[in-house]
Amino acid sequence: MTSIQNKIILTGIKPSGSPHLGNYLGAMRPSIEMQNQYQQSIYFIADFHSLTTIRNAKLHQEYIYGVALDWLALGLNPDKTVFFRQSDNPYHTELSWILSCITPMGLMERAHAWKDAINNKLKEENVGLFTYPILMAADILLYQADIIPVGKDQKQHVEIARDLAIKFNNTFGDTFKLPSEYTPPEIASIPGIDGVHKMSKSYNNTIMIFAEEKELKKQIMSIKTDSTPVEDSKDPDKDLVFQFYSLIANSSDIDNLRDKYQGGNFGYGEAKKILFEAFLDYFQNARQKRIELANNLRYVKDVLSEGAKNSLKISEKTIENVRQKVGLKF
Ligand code: ADP
Ligand code: TRP
């Protein structure tokens, strides 16, 4: 039996804007925490995926570099991980095509993300968006990855990757390892500041990690709370401000805030100020580091090109094997 350390962890990061607390807690923090715990960690910028929605080249490039800065600032260690741009490795699209040829239409039609995008008219209906999970399956299977940290909304896509691996293995012989999603329940879906939807760029209900302080304060001050009067005791477990605080503060500070809520004469405005300070404190190093990295883009480019070389090296074996299995290699 392989021990956990022998496994490969992999995740993709879509460059579609600045990260919010939901992205960080649901996907970035667990990935960064796990980068040291496995034999190999592979994190890439999914810039083919972002083409399904972004139509402006300059903006796209800003997002791609932006996301590299975000991850490096938040603690991704390029010495421990293979960090690269998906579009630097053409095997992703090659494998995606090969997998698309064994993908049943129904499997794609049942994908929640596709159905949501179409039903809620959130995104343009294009074929890339429809086949998005196949490219994602290729991303995962190309590296024989075992563990895929993703937020709840991406879980089904990892299940699809597993289904396609099984289908391919059954059709052409054992080729791919079967991946599993990693989604700890307490962070699977971070709520938005509106208290209605999950936190998401699409709902404009976010707290942005790298926002200017003024903007950040505005976002935190607009977290939805109930109308319990200031004097009354409040139930911390039913409050969003407390929920956010619990995710970034240490346990004794969390207990202190809990006492304040329960003691009465403590308003939500004050709780929000405490959250704002805790947020700045928690992200202080990352916010500083991001500024430094932005002034040293050469370094970021070097990291990504080194990552690209490594990703090609690692994935070559699998793509060669796939070509052979399907009859494309003589
Ligand atoms: P958004 O919904 O803001 O467009 P993305 O779809 O780009 O976010 O998600 C990027 C990563 O962050 C994915 O792994 C996703 O599952 C995770 N994620 C996004 N929103 C949340 C959330 N509210 N809670 C937990 N994880 C999230
Ligand atoms: N689809 C993911 C998202 O929207 C990004 C992604 C692309 C990904 N390829 C991946 C995540 C492979 C995990 C594994 O956030």
Shortest-distance Cα residue to atom 9 of ligand 1: 23
Whether 74 and 221 map to the same domain: the answer is no
Mutation to probe ligand 2, out of 14, 45, 50 (largest number of atoms < 8 A from CB): 14
Whether 280 and 301 map to the same domain: the answer is no
Whether 224 and 244 map to the same domain: the answer is yes
Cα–ligand 1 centroid distance for 141 (angstroms): 21
CATH of the domain at 238: 1.10.240.10
Q: Is 14 touching ligand 2 by the criterion CB < 6 Å?
A: yes
Whether 164 and 312 map to the same domain: the answer is yes
Which element (helix H / strand E) includes 241? helix 240-248
Mutation to probe ligand 2, out of 8, 9, 11 (largest number of atoms < 8 A from CB): 11
Q: Is 50 touching ligand 2 by the criterion CB < 6 Å?
A: no
Q: What pLDDT, on a 0 to 100 scale, did the predictor assign at position 263?
A: 96
Mutation to probe ligand 2, out of 136, 153, 177, 311 (largest number of atoms < 8 A from CB): 136
Shortest-distance Cα residue to atom 15 of ligand 1: 151
Whether 46 and 115 map to the same domain: the answer is yes
Phi, psi of 8 (to 5 degrees): -105, 130
Whether 175 and 319 map to the same domain: the answer is yes
Whether 186 and 231 map to the same domain: the answer is no
Is 178 among the domain residues?
yes
Query: Which residue ranges have their beta carbon within 6 Å of ligand 1?
Result: 14, 16, 22-23, 26-27, 150-151, 153-154, 187, 189-190, 198-202
Is 202 among the domain residues?
no
The residue behind tokens 């202080």 is 284
Q: Which two tokens stand for residue 86?
A: 């998906």
Q: What pLDDT, on a 0 to 100 scale, did the predictor assign at position 188?
A: 75
Q: What is the mean pLDDT of each run of 10 residues along the chain (330 residues)?
A: 74 92 89 92 97 96 97 97 98 98 97 88 88 98 95 92 98 98 83 95 94 97 96 96 96 97 96 98 98 97 98 98 96
The answer to whether 266 and 234 have CB atoms below 8 angstroms apart is yes
CB count in 10 Å sphere of residue 99: 25
Shortest-distance Cα residue to atom 7 of ligand 2: 12
Q: Which domain holds residue 40?
A: 4-190+296-326
Nearest ligand, CA of residue 184? Answer: 1
Q: Is 46 touching ligand 2 by the criterion CB < 6 Å?
A: yes
Q: What pLDDT, on a 0 to 100 scale, did the predictor assign at position 117?
A: 85
Q: What pLDDT, on a 0 to 100 scale, did the predictor assign at position 4?
A: 54
Nearest ligand, CA of residue 209? Answer: 1
Whether 249 and 300 map to the same domain: the answer is no
Number of domains comprising the chain: 2
Instruction: Please tell me what DSSP assigns to residue 9.
Output: E
Which element (helix H / strand E) includes 180? strand 180-182
Is 197 among the domain residues?
no
Whether 159 and 54 map to the same domain: the answer is yes
Which of 58, 30, 28, 26 shows the shortest CA–CA distance to 45?
28
Is 219 among the domain residues?
yes
Is 201 among the domain residues?
no
Whether 47 and 165 map to the same domain: the answer is yes
Cα–ligand 1 centroid distance for 171 (angstroms): 33
Shortest-distance Cα residue to atom 11 of ligand 2: 12
Whether 149 and 248 map to the same domain: the answer is no
CA Rg, the chain, in Å? Answer: 21
Whether 160 and 275 map to the same domain: the answer is no
Is 73 among the domain residues?
yes
Is 139 among the domain residues?
yes
Which of 72, 11, 136, 41 shows the shortest CA–CA distance to 301?
72
Q: Is 293 touching ligand 2 by the criterion CB < 6 Å?
A: no
CATH of the domain at 126: 3.40.50.620
Is 200 among the domain residues?
no
Q: Is 49 touching ligand 2 by the criterion CB < 6 Å?
A: yes
Which element (helix H / strand E) includes 114? helix 112-119
Cα–ligand 1 centroid distance for 22 (angstroms): 6
Cα–ligand 2 centroid distance for 113 (angstroms): 12
pTM: 0.92
